[in-house]
Amino acid sequence: MAQPTPSFKARPRKPRLKLPPGATDTHFHVFGPQARFPFAPERIYTPTCDAPKRISREPAPWPDAAPFARKLVAEFGDRALRGTDWPHPNLGVGPDEGDLVDLIAEIAPTESARQHLLVDNPRRLYGFAA
């Protein structure tokens, strides 16, 4: 099996969006079959692919995927998480992380939505201290 090739910008621009204190990138991977590495039956989250590049028809930062993510945040804001898929394996040219951070304002348009998405939900899922 070929090794993934990281695709990221070495010097991303600083995002314009100010993130709430304690904001977290919750992206993670579980390698192996689900039968061997099952999700906990008592889980309140089911990990999903947070990779707009997989559904977008536009180049990074994949703005045409924002309405889909915005709908998920609006409908499941108390259970939604956000991850970047950094270092964006096998893209060739990676996105600018500053652009991806700024896209959060379209996905979670209120401070309250961003607080849940980036701080409160990851804190509850992973047991981070307040």
Helix axes 66-76, 97-107, angle to 10 degrees: 50
- 42-45 contact pairs (CB < 8 A, 24+): 44/79, 44/124, 44/125, 45/79, 45/81, 45/121, 45/125
Options 64, 78, 85, 96, the catalytic residue: 85
| Cα distances (Å, whole numbers) of residue 119 to 24, 60, 110, 116 | 6, 25, 14, 6
Q: Which amino acid appears at position 87 of this protein?
A: P
Q: What is the C-alpha separation between 90 and 4, in angstroms, rounded?
A: 6
Active-site residue flag, 50: no
Bond prior to 20 in cis (omega within 30° of 0): no
The residues carrying an active-site annotation are 85
